[in-house]
Amino acid sequence: MVQICPPQEIRICENISDEIFHNEIRTAHQPVILRGLVADWPAVHAAKMGDEAMAAYLNECGTTQPITALAAPPSAKGRFYYNDEMTGFNFITAKGNMAQFLQELLQENKKDEGFAMAVQSEILRIISPPFAMQNRLDLLPDVDARIWIGNKVRVATHFDLSENVACNVAGRRKFTLFPPDQLANLYLGPMELTPAGTPVSMVDPQHPDLGKYPRFAKAWEHVQTSILEAGDALYIPYGWWHAVDSLDSLNILVNYWWNNPHIKMASPYDALLHMIAAYRHLPDHQKQIWQNITNNYVFSKNDVAAHLPEQSKGMLANYSPLLIENMINHLKRSIA
């Protein structure tokens, strides 16, 4: 029988300055717990007074527009995932207002087996400017904050197309992280139908079926885990796979996604989908040719156009927003 080893704990840092965060933590490309980073937020203080006080604080801040909520039946055991046939999902979505959502969530929490409920990735600047103003992250002053609210819900292992600082406001959250190079051992689901925007792992990291997914044991050799308390934050580097389990009756997280060093870039994920359509079904010898071409033009660190006059480099020239815009327009014309 395949065995899995105990997980490694995510490294913890305290008293994080801007310089340490941007010049040391981010450049190491490893996850880090930022202990107590947002412990002084008013929302965290409200959360420590209990679920009712936290809900009252959210209602006091108010919302300016409807929110989108998710709900999964008790049979889902809190895990937002696929239905049994994998033709859709095991949860429903609906529009509503925040006060109604919070009231229904608190009511569900009184049941022995209630619905799993969540609000995910709502931009605070848009839905609740007072909350955004009162709870600011000085490390990332120009990045939009997004709020996640729910009871005991579980999010399947996925990756984001960005760096991420996840600030735990209320309740406890368990994060289970895998480095980017473990994707082949995570048994990814469909690319077109996914509950997370990008493909999710078919393996439940809390209850892995190693008979069905034996390579997951290899991924687990590289796993890092931690439980965030209210006031803690987690830095998740670009491309790291992560599963998230909310452990308490009311859990709130505020996260910050940011990405490209340039204002305008084409989407790498869209490019991946295009590459699958263009390359995946070629004969092997043609795949090898295109792999060499792609390595040369995309992944090589050399200036592959160094031999060309500057005015003739075209799409191989140095970055500029106009260059990217011209390339995207060229691509649109080529696939029209």
Model pLDDT, residue 1: 40
Please check the confidence at residue 2 and state whether its pLDDT lies above 70: no
Identity (one letter) of the amino acid at 136? Answer: R
Residues 302 and 155 in one domain: no
What percent of the chain shows pLDDT beyond 90?
A: 86
Beta strands 32-35 and 11-14 are parallel
226 and 277 share one domain? no
End-to-end CA distance of the chain: 53
Inside any domain, residue 3? no
Q: Decide if pLDDT at 58 tops 60.
A: yes
- Confidence check: pLDDT of 262 > 70: no
Residue 263 lies in a domain: no
Structure tokens at 56: 């009252």
CA 66 to chain CA centroid, nearest Å: 23
**18 exposed, middle or buried (CB, 10 Å; 0-12, 13-18, 19+)?**
exposed
Q: What is the CATH number of the domain that holds 201?
A: 2.60.120.650
Domain shared by 272 and 254, yes or no: no
Together in a domain, 211 and 292 = no
Residues 22-41: what's their mean pLDDT? 97
Question: Which has the higher per-residue pLDDT, 45 or 274?
Answer: 45
Q: Are residues 161 and 246 in the same domain?
A: yes
Task: Report the length, in residues, of the chain.
Answer: 336
**What's the pLDDT at 327?**
87
215, 232, 258 — which closes off a domain?
A: 258
**pLDDT one-digit tens code per residue, 95-140:** 999 999 999 999 999 999 999 999 999 999 999 999 999 999 999 9
CA distance 270 to 185: 23
Residue 171, number of CB atoms within 10 A of its CB: 23
| 102 lies in the same domain as 186 | yes
Q: How many domains does the chain have?
A: 2
Decide which of 258, 279, 304 is a domain's last residue. 258
Cβ burial 276-302 (10 Å sphere, 16+ → b, else e): eeeeeeeeeeeeeeeeeeeeeeeeeee
Residue 211 has pLDDT above 90, yes or no: yes
212 lies in the same domain as 181: yes
CB proximity list for 108: less than 8 A, separation 6 or greater? 114, 115, 117, 151
Mark whether 226 and 86 lie in a shared domain. Answer: yes
Residue 16 resides in a domain: yes
Q: How far is CA 171 from CA 276, 298, 334, in A?
A: 41, 43, 50
Nearest to 177 by CA among 115, 270, 242: 242
**Is there a domain that residue 109 lies in?**
yes
Q: Domain containing 323: what range?
A: 268-335
Question: If you average pLDDT over residues 242-271, what whole number do you get?
Answer: 90
> Given the DSSP bridges, would you call strands 8-9 and 224-228 parallel, antiparallel or unpaired?
parallel
182 CB burial (10 A radius; 0-12, 13-18, 19+): buried
What integer is the mean pLDDT of 77-99? 96
How many angstroms separate the CA atoms of 37 and 24, rounded?
16
Tokens 């998710």 found at = 70
Neighbour-count burial for 149-167, b at 16+ CB within 10 Å, e otherwise: bbbbbbbbbbbbebbbbbb
Is 200 among the domain residues? yes
Q: Is residue 126 part of a domain?
A: yes
Is the domain of 324 the same as that of 211? no
pLDDT, position 4: 76
Q: How many CB atoms lie within 10 A of CB 37?
A: 24
What does residue 146 show for φ and ψ, rounded to 5 degrees? -125, 145
- Flag whether 2 is in a domain: no
Whether residue 203 lies inside any domain: the answer is: yes
**How confident is the prediction for the chain on average, in pLDDT?**
94
One-letter amino acid identity for 102? L
Domain boundary among the residues 214, 233, 258 is at 258
